[in-house]
C-alpha cells in the first residue's frame, strides 16, 4: 500500500485506511480524534472474495480508523474532495503522502485494499456500526446528564409494555458484551435478541403517545391558572418520556449493530443492502420522534405566547408558563442533538411585568385622553341639546301662560 491513505465517507463518518504509520501521521496532522475501524472483521467477507490472499495480506498490513463527522472534522476534511463511487451512499478517494488526491478507489492499482466491492460494502458496514455505537454512547451520557434512571421511570409505570423494557435492555446489553469478547455474533447470541425489537417498538409507541397526550392537554387549557399547572406538569413529564425514547433509540441501534455483524458473518453479499435498509429504518424512527416532539414544542410555544399576552393580569402565573415552556423546549432540543435531529433552538422570554404595565399605562393614558375629549364633545352636544330643549320648553310655557292669561281676561269681561 506504500504511503497511500484511502478515505471513505458515508455521511456519518470517515474511514481512514492505510499503513499504521501513514494513518497515524494523517490523523495527527489534522488533529482528528478517531476510533479503531475493526478491519479484521472483514475476514469472513474475504473467504468468498476473489483474490482473497492478496486482500487478506492488505488487511493484515493496514490500519483503519473511524472519524465521526462533526463541525471540526468536516472543516478539517473539507479540502479532501471525496467523490461518489459504486457503493450507494459512500464517497471515497485515495491520498498520496503529501495529502493530494491520487484517484478513485475503483481505478486504484489492482490488488490495492478495498478495490473489491464486497470489501467496500464491508467497510461501509463497519462504519455504520461505529456511527450507531457513537450515538449509543452519547445517549448514555445524555441520560446521565439529565439524571434520569430509565429503569426507575419504567418501574414507576403500571403498564406491562414499559416494564418489559428493563428485561429487554439486559438481554441486549448481554449480547453486546458477548460480541465484544468473541468478536462476532453467533446464531445462538442472535437468537436471544432478534425478537426484542417488538418490545422496543411498542414502548416507543407508548412514549410517543404520552407526549402527544401532553401536547393535547396543553392545547385544551385556556385559563392562565390551568395553563400554568399544565405547563409545570408537562415540564416534569417530558424529561421522563424523553428518557424512555432515548433508551428505545439506543436499544434499536444496539440491535442494528448486532444485526450487521450477523449478516456479515452469515450472508456477506447482502451486507450493503441490509446496511442501507437499516439506515432507512433508522431515519424513519428519527422522523417519527421528531414530528411528535416538534408538535409538543409547538403547543408549549403557543402556551407561552398566550401567557405573554396576559402577563399584566397574571403577573405570577404568566411568567411561570413561559419558564416551563422554555425548559420543555430546551430539553427537547438537547434530546434532538443527542439523536442527531437538527433543529434551530428557539427560546421564548417572559415579558417583565413592569414593561407590560408601562405599556398598558401608556395605552390607558391614550384611551383616557380620547375619553376626555369624547366626554367633552358629548358634554357640549348634550348641553346644546339641553339648551335647545330648554328653549323649546320655555317657549311652550310662555305660550301656554299667555293663553292662560288671555282666557282669564275673557272670563273677567264676561263676568
pLDDT value of residue 95: 56
pLDDT at 144: 83
Cell 486482500 -> residue: 55
**pLDDT value of position 176:** 96
Question: Where are the alpha helices (H) located in 88-194, listed in sequence order?
Answer: 117-145, 150-155, 160-182, 187-193
CA dist 59 and 47 (Å) reads 13
- 51 Ramachandran zone, left/alpha/beta (phi>0; psi -120 to 50): left
How many other C-beta atoms can be found within 10 angstroms of the C-beta atom of residue 120? 22
Residue 69 DSSP SS3: coil
232 within 8 A of 328, measured Cβ to Cβ: no
Alpha carbon 82 to its chain's center: 29
Whether pTM > 0.75 for this model: the answer is no
Instruction: Check if the beta carbon of residue 179 is closer than 8 Å to that of residue 173.
Output: no
How is the chain split into domains, by residue range? 5-121, 146-351, 354-415
Which grid cell sits at 256?
442494528
Query: Tell me, what's the pLDDT at 205?
Result: 94
pLDDT by 10s per residue, the chain, length 415: 456 777 787 778 888 888 888 888 888 888 888 888 887 777 655 555 545 555 555 565 577 888 887 777 777 777 665 655 545 555 555 555 454 544 433 333 333 445 556 677 778 888 899 999 999 999 988 888 876 666 666 666 656 667 788 889 999 999 999 999 998 899 999 999 999 999 999 999 999 999 999 988 888 887 888 888 888 888 888 988 998 999 999 999 999 999 999 998 888 888 888 999 999 999 999 999 999 999 998 888 888 888 878 777 777 888 888 888 888 988 999 999 888 886 544 444 444 544 555 554 455 445 444 444 543 454 455 445 444 544 544 455 445 544 555 555 555 545 5
Amino acid at each position: 500500500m506504500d504511503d497511500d491513505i484511502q478515505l471513505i465517507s458515508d455521511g456519518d463518518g470517515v474511514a481512514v485506511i492505510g499503513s499504521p504509520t501513514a494513518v497515524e501521521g494523517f490523523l495527527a496532522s489534522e488533529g482528528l480524534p478517531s476510533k479503531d475501524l475493526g478491519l479484521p472483521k472483514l475476514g469472513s467477507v474475504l473467504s468468498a472474495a476473489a483474490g482473497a490472499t492478496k486482500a487478506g495480506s492488505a488487511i493484515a498490513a493496514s490500519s483503519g480508523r473511524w472519524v465521526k463527522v462533526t463541525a471540526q472534522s468536516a472543516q478539517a476534511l473539507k479540502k479532501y474532495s471525496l467523490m461518489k463511487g459504486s457503493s450507494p451512499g459512500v464517497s471515497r478517494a485515495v491520498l498520496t503522502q503529501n495529502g493530494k488526491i491520487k484517484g478513485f478507489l475503483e481505478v486504484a492499482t489492482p490488488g490495492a485494499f478495498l478495490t473489491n466491492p464486497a470489501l467496500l460494502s464491508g467497510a461501509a458496514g463497519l462504519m455504520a456500526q461505529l456511527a450507531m455505537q457513537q450515538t449509543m454512547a452519547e445517549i448514555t451520557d445524555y441520560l446521565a446528564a439529565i439524571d434520569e434512571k430509565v429503569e426507575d421511570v419504567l418501574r414507576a409505570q403500571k403498564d406491562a409494555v414499559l416494564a418489559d423494557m428493563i428485561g429487554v435492555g439486559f438481554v441486549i446489553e448481554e449480547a453486546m458484551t458477548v460480541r465484544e469478547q468473541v468478536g462476532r455474533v453467533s446464531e445462538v447470541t442472535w437468537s436471544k435478541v432478534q425478537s426484542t425489537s417488538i418490545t422496543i417498538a411498542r414502548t416507543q409507541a407508548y412514549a410517543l403517545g404520552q407526549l402527544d397526550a401532553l401536547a393535547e392537554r396543553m392545547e385544551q387549557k385556556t385559563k392562565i391558572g390551568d395553563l400554568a399547572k399544565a405547563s409545570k406538569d408537562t415540564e416534569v413529564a417530558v424529561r421522563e418520556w424523553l428518557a424512555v425514547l432515548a433508551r428505545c433509540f439506543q436499544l434499536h441501534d444496539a440491535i442494528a449493530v448486532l444485526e450487521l455483524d450477523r449478516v456479515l458473518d452469515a450472508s456477506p453479499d447482502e451486507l450493503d443492502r441490509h446496511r442501507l435498509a437499516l439506515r432507512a429504518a433508522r431515519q424513519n424512527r428519527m422522523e417519527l420522534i421528531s414530528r411528535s416532539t416538534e408538535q409538543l414544542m409547538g403547543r408549549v410555544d403557543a402556551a407561552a405566547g398566550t401567557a405573554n399576552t396576559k402577563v399584566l393580569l397574571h403577573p405570577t402565573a404568566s411568567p411561570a408558563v413561559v419558564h416551563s415552556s422554555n425548559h420543555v423546549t430546551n430539553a427537547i432540543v438537547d434530546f434532538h442533538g443527542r439523536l442527531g435531529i437538527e433543529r434551530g433552538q428557539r427560546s421564548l422570554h417572559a415579558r417583565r411585568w413592569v414593561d407590560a404595565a408601562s405599556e398598558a399605562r401608556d395605552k390607558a393614558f391614550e384611551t383616557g385622553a380620547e375619553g376626555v375629549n369624547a366626554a367633552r364633545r358629548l358634554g357640549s352636544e348634550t348641553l346644546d341639546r339641553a339648551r335647545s330643549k330648554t328653549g323649546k320648553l320655555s317657549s311652550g310655557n310662555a305660550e301656554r301662560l299667555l293663553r292662560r292669561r288671555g282666557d282669564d281676561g275673557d272670563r273677567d269681561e264676561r263676568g
